[in-house]
Amino acid sequence: MPETPGGEPVAFAGREEALAWLDVEWDNLAGVIASGTPPYAWLLVEALTDVLLQYRRSRVEWLRLAETALAAAERAGDLRGQAAMCHSIGRARLLVADLKGALGYLGRAQELCRRTDWPQQEAAVLQALGVARKQLGEPRRAIPLYRRAAEINRSLGLVRGEARVLNNLASAHLKLAHLDQAEESLLACLALTGEPENAHLRTLTLVNLALVRQRQARFADALGHLDEALALAQGAGLLYAEAVTYETYGWVHRDAGDHVRAIDAFARALGLAQEVENRRCQIASLAGAAAAETGLGRMEAALARLDAAARLAEDTGTDLDQVLLERAEVRLRQGRHADAMLDAGHALELARTANPLDLPRAHILRAAGHLASGDTESCVRECERALRHARRSGQPLQHARALTTLGHARSRAGDDGRAARLWSQAHALFTGIGVPEQQETAALLAGH
């Protein structure tokens, strides 16, 4: 709260008035940080982190201020100040997808926290290290980091810190196809984030819960969570949260077969993600829009989006598996079966460690490639693998799609009775979920 010349604090009428004051005074605040006066430089960066996180300023400015404050803390021999600024720089680098750079600063921050016996900050650093590991495609290495961070927060009675970790832990479980464990962590997080000051965390938690519901093919529930998330994000001006909310709307609409709405949601997400410099959301939005274009039969438009997504994925070293899966789908539909198999095979290798949640789809795409080339035996093997992963992770839509492809393989081998039984099972699942694919299985059954 600002001080008047007489020393009395000024009360703001609301959030917008406070932010307006901050915008007016920003150059003065940044000037104090730039002066490198210890300990004010790093303390100010810490105090302004929520503002920087909510994208009132660019990532470049965040990094510039934190690096200036780190240099001041180093000159003063202030180890806690160094720990805080290494953590701050690491977080900023995470958000621009400089994951290896983030790991370097976060590792240094962890060492400094231990040297200065600062468990609260160490918990925050462990959480950030978990995010880095997950985004680098190592979600299994993220889990113990998150669990240790949760233990520290719980032992210190830091409810908000524990809630943050629970949301991140759920995200790692989701990547690993542990939907039940992800749901458990998210529901626990929601119970801890009812206060207005937790709007950003609550929004992201609702988005993650919507992703769980999407994979469970509970689309109405997913959209309900996203409606709540969007209202929170827009009400509090949380552009980062709004971007990932729209991205998730896109995935839900895509899976539900509403490709036009999916494209609109992904377009909104992409615009916001570009504004807030969230490159991972940009990759996902481009890949998702490509998937929806593919659903509408617009292959060239899909490939153009995927080319842009691939450039970002290669630049950041993240999310390439997502791009490869969508490109394999396009190439299958174009009849480029060999290219599709290469993409699906590469995606499968990446998914095994980075994102087991996508293993069913990768196997289904490979099965379709084998079927197109006349190798029914290999198609059957890939379908059986897809079914095993879909059952284990609780993904009924992928289960139904694998059954459909397996039915085609059985029909191609001359076993029409077995094919009809498989299509009947798939049709029951598609109908229960309520997706347009039920029309395909209805036609297959009518033809037999």
Tens digit of each residue's pLDDT (9 = 90 or more) over 110-150 = 999 999 999 999 999 999 999 999 999 999 999 999 999 99
pLDDT (0 to 100) of residue 96: 85
Within a domain: 77? yes
Within a domain: 75? yes
pLDDT at 430 over 50: yes
The tens digit of pLDDT for each residue in 92-105 reads 999 888 999 999 99
Within a domain: 26? yes
Q: Which residues pair with 366 in a beta bridge?
A: none
What does the pLDDT average to over 404-433?
98
Within a domain: 216? no
CATH number at residue 39: 1.25.40.10
- In whole angstroms, give the CA distance from residue 336 to residue 173: 35
Within a domain: 87? yes
What does the pLDDT average to over 401-410?
98
Domain that holds residue 79: 13-131
pLDDT (0 to 100) of residue 97: 84
For residues 175 and 146, the answer to whether their CB atoms sit within 8 Å is no
Q: What is the DSSP letter of 9?
A: B
What does the pLDDT average to over 50-70?
79
- In whole angstroms, give the CA distance from residue 403 to residue 105: 47
Within a domain: 20? yes
Residue 237 to residues 29, 198, 203, 227, 240, Cα–Cα distance (Å): 22, 13, 12, 15, 9
What does the pLDDT average to over 29-56?
79
pLDDT band at 4 (very low <50, low <70, confident <90, very high): very low
Count of domains for the chain: 1
What does the pLDDT average to over 33-42?
84
pLDDT at 175 over 70: yes
Nearest to 206 by CA among 182, 184, 222: 222
Within a domain: 109? yes
The tens digit of pLDDT for each residue in 227-258 reads 999 999 999 889 999 999 999 999 999 999 99
- Among 42-51, 132-141, 175-184, which is the least confidently predicted range? 42-51
pLDDT (0 to 100) of residue 56: 62
What does the pLDDT average to over 162-183?
97
pTM beyond cutoff 0.85: yes
Q: Which residues pair with 9 in a beta bridge?
A: 3
pLDDT (0 to 100) of residue 49: 82
Torsion of CA 301, 304, 308, 313, to 10 degrees: 90
pLDDT (0 to 100) of residue 381: 98
What does the pLDDT average to over 67-91?
96
Nearest to 349 by CA among 366, 336, 370: 366
Q: Average model confidence (pLDDT) for the chain?
A: 93
pLDDT at 206 over 70: yes
- In whole angstroms, give the CA distance from residue 30 to residue 21: 14
pLDDT at 153 over 60: yes
pLDDT at 344 over 50: yes
- Among 32-41, 68-77, 289-298, which is the least confidently predicted range? 32-41
Residues 6+ apart with CB under 8 A from 22: 29, 51, 56
Helices within 276-336 (DSSP H only): 279-295, 299-316, 320-333
pLDDT (0 to 100) of residue 180: 97
pLDDT (0 to 100) of residue 7: 47
pLDDT at 6 over 50: no
pLDDT at 3 over 50: no
Within a domain: 124? yes
